Amino acid sequence: GNRTFTMIKPDAVEKGHIGGIIEQITASGFRIVAMKMTQMTKTDAEEFYAIHKERPFFGELVEFMTRGPIVAAILEKDNAVDDFRTLIGATNPEDAAEGTIRKKYATSVGENAVHGSDSDENAAIEGAFHFSGREMF
């Protein structure tokens, strides 16, 4: 697939890292198909992260993802899902490779600066969750 979905999470927005992160994404060859600043409601976050609802960190994750604005985007590139997950690095910034977005900007395994879809199927579902057809270019 050639598209993925990302969010710049509330921690990175709060710390003023929107510009740095978008610069690294576009410099790495991703084209921005759709992008907006928005804030998820509790209901939105519970639905978006429904797959994690039995995990011990679910409440913390919903609380974190709704505490402030995010930047949501759909990105286009060959091999988008895998290449984007390489660009962002491991979930836990302590394990993230040097130069990755999470190594540079994440604070912890929970507050890890960015989201990246884990499959083509989820990229399509997550993109459609945040954007209508008229918001995609």
57 is in an annotated binding site: yes
Q: Which stretch binds ligand ATP (CB under 6 A): 13-21, 23-31, 38-46, 110-118?
A: 110-118
Give the Cα separation of 30 and 28 in Å (integer). Answer: 6
To ligand ATP, the closest distance from the beta carbon of 85 in angstroms equals 8
The yes or no reply on residue 130 touching ligand ATP (CB under 6 A) is no
Q: Could you tell me which residues come within 8 angstroms of residue 34 by beta carbon, excluding any fewer than 6 positions away?
A: 72, 73, 74, 127, 130, 131, 135, 136, 137
Amino acid 134 reads R
Cβ 125 vs Cβ 131: under 8 Å: no
To ligand ATP, the closest distance from the beta carbon of 134 in angstroms equals 26
Kindly list the residues in this chain that would bind ligand ATP in the complex (CB under 6 A): 57, 60-61, 91, 109-110, 112, 115-116, 118
